[in-house]
């Protein structure tokens, strides 16, 4: 499944649950499906985050890659 498809399905589930017009049993099934999709999306986002590299020019004017550190919001030199 693609990330975008999972997000679309989560949105559909939310709309159905917000109506309050579906039986409890179906609501629980939709909730469970939604939670599984959220976990899937979080895993995909974590995988992408680990792969992100930023191209930056070093002081010599050369382009190098540095891993992105999301906690700092900037790149850190590779050791």
Q: What integer pLDDT is reported at residue 54 of this predicted model?
A: 60
pLDDT of residue 72: 64
Q: Which two tokens stand for residue 8?
A: 């679309």
Cα–Cα separations (whole angstroms), residue 26 to 4, 14, 54, 66: 24, 13, 45, 47
- As a whole number, mean pLDDT of residues 19-38 equals 96
The domain in which residue 32 lies consists of: 3-75
Q: How many domains does the chain have?
A: 1
Residue 30 and residue 17 in contact, taking contact as beta carbons nearer than 8 Å: yes
8-state DSSP, 58: -
pLDDT in tens, 14-26: 999 999 999 999 9
d(CA 37, CA 26): 16
Between residues 70 and 25, which one has the greater pLDDT? 25
Q: Report H helices in 1-79.
A: 3-19, 24-51
């Amino acid at each position: 499944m693609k990330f975008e498809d999972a997000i679309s399905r989560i949105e559909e589930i939310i709309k159905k649950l917000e109506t309050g017009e579906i039986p409890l049993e179906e609501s629980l099934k939709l909730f469970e499906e939604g939670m599984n999709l959220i976990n899937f999306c979080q895993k995909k986002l974590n995988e992408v985050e680990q792969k992100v590299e930023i191209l930056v020019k070093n002081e010599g004017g050369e382009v190098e890659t540095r891993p992105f550190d999301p906690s700092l919001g900037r790149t850190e030199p590779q050791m």
